[in-house]
Amino acid sequence: MIEEHFAALRRTVGRMETDRAVMATLRRWGSHLAGVLQTGGRLLACGNGGSAAEAQHLTSEVTGRFRRDRPPYAALALHADTSAITAILNDYGPDEVFARQVRAHGRPGDVLVALSTSGRSANVLAAAANAHAMGLTTWALTGPQPNQLASICDDGICVPADEVATVQEVHLLLIHALCEVLDEALRARRPLGEEEPA
């Protein structure tokens, strides 16, 4: 079983690595996100279970740092505020858990990254639909296509793997690749005369 797991991951990473569309999407996302963050916009991210952990991993890299020191930027993982989550869940039901926070924190021009291995998570779909209606840019990280989340977002990367674990592992790889491109774009957009932090 261990060997099969590693083999499935190698196969999927190999397919993603040679997919020019995936590489182009990551570069486009990183460049766009750099512009949003540097002009005072923010990144929102959401997911359930392992995808929640991936969403929080992404936002922590943005507010903290990835490889090199740089200014912090605004990024929120929508599952991380347990008091808000439980209040919304209790008063409005599970499908509103992320959507209500999108309406509270999102502004036109912000970015929502929505993660779902199945692409069918009702609360993630509601968040993406609300974000789109409010003028946020919506990006999906999902499993195999076709799936509903990828179809309703402005853009998406669908991981062609049968196992949830493999999809989640590749999502982390994609998140790190996005952070790499983001940092490169932020450095390129630094105003003339502004020195990079030590």
pLDDT at 192: 46
Strand order in the sheet with 111-116: 75-77, 43-46, 111-116, 137-142, 155-158
What domains, with CATH codes, occur in the chain?
1-189 (3.40.50.10490)
What whole-number percentage of the chain has pLDDT above 90? 92
pLDDT at 191: 58
pLDDT at 189: 72
Q: Is 49 annotated as a binding residue?
A: yes
How many CA within 13 A on the CB side of residue 127? 33
Q: Is 61 annotated as a binding residue?
A: yes
Q: Is 90 annotated as a binding residue?
A: yes
- In the three-class reduction of DSSP (H, G, I as helix; E, B as strand; rest coil), residue 125 is classed as helix
**Sequence letter at residue 111:** V
Over the stretch 1-11, which tens digit does the pLDDT of each residue have?
899 999 999 99
Over the stretch 136-187, which tens digit does the pLDDT of each residue have?
999 999 999 999 999 999 999 999 999 999 999 999 999 999 999 999 999 9
Q: Is 50 annotated as a binding residue?
A: yes
Q: Is 132 annotated as a binding residue?
A: no
